[in-house]
Amino acid sequence: MKNYVVWTNCTVNESDDTVTKWNLAPVNNDAARNGYSQINKISRDSAKKYLQGTWEEIVYTDPAPSRTAIFQRNWQRIHDLWHKEPCNILYLDSDTIIIRPTEIFDRFAEFRLFNWTDPNFNEKFENLYNAGVRYYPATMSRDLWTVGNEMAKNWDLDNWNQEQEIFNTMFWQQHVPDPHHPELNWQGMILHQRSHQAVDLLNQWNTVPIDNAHIIHVHGSRNIEETVNVMSIFAKNAGIYN
């Protein structure tokens, strides 16, 4: 059975109103595009070094009109890939880095998200999980795709959380006994501060120390330049680059 690891690294022709709409840094400029390409390479190289098993990579590169349009496209593409042949699929955001040997494939039988997003709840979910690392095993229930497809029919491109709400709906209805694996999507939303205090706060927030993390999510949409710096430091310390 094939294992796939999927990333997206594409030009985003998005207007700068995202600064006020979603409080995100602009991406429609050369510096941001270069930064995202750099972190995508680091993420892919980290997987090549530390992700256990035999797998093939897929990187979606065609330009998109917005980041939420990327979410919508990826929904359909991964849906179609999963239904094309029996396979396991791990999706990784480009701002994630694997820093030690990590087992995902064949470890989980259900569709998986792994850790909270920030904020970690909303009016729909007491626990709102982050979709930057997600796993679609061949053994996941086909009924989950039906649930997701019903929600995806009316995709709201003005709702930043649309994607995560679909995936959280799918994930939580499985009632898995061990839903929380923060080490596999350790949230580093303030790592850009590069301080011991920031790490201490994140250790408490994630409920596991960064020393136990396998996959760290640096949150590039908040500051792509510092994300490049932080991921480069992690890559060097983890021996991904000599």
CATH code at 141? 3.90.550
- The encoded tokens of residue 17 equal 């109103």
Residue 180: predicted pLDDT = 98
pLDDT of residue 175: 97
DSSP for 8-58, please give it: E---B---TTHHHHT-----SSHHHHHHHHHHHHHHHHHHHHHB-S--EEE
Asked if the structure places residue 242 within a domain, the reply is: no
200-235: per-residue pLDDT in tens? 999 999 999 999 999 999 999 888 999 999 999 999
Q: Is residue 106 part of a domain?
A: yes
Query: Is 159 domain-assigned?
Result: yes
The C-alpha atoms of residue 66 and residue 47 are separated, in whole angstroms, by 26
User: What is the mean pLDDT of the segment spanning 147-161?
Assistant: 95
The token pair at 124 is 């729909």
Domain count, the chain: 1
Whether cis (ω within 30° of 0) applies to the bond prior to 119 is yes
Considering Cα of 217, then 160, then 145, then 65, what sign does the dihedral take?
negative
Q: Is residue 83 part of a domain?
A: yes
Least confident of 19-28, 123-132, 176-185, 199-208: 19-28
Whose structure tokens read 């430091």? Answer: 233
Please, which pLDDT band fits residue 132 given cuts at 50, 70 and 90?
Answer: very high
Amino acid identity at 120: N
In a domain, residue 99? The reply is: yes
Average pLDDT of 84-105? 98
Q: Is residue 131 part of a domain?
A: yes
Residue 102 lies in a domain: yes
**Average pLDDT along the chain:** 96
Looking at residue 16, its pLDDT comes to: 75
- In angstroms, the CA 24 to CA 7 distance is 20
* Residue 76 resides in a domain: yes
Question: What is the span of the domain harbouring residue 185?
Answer: 2-237
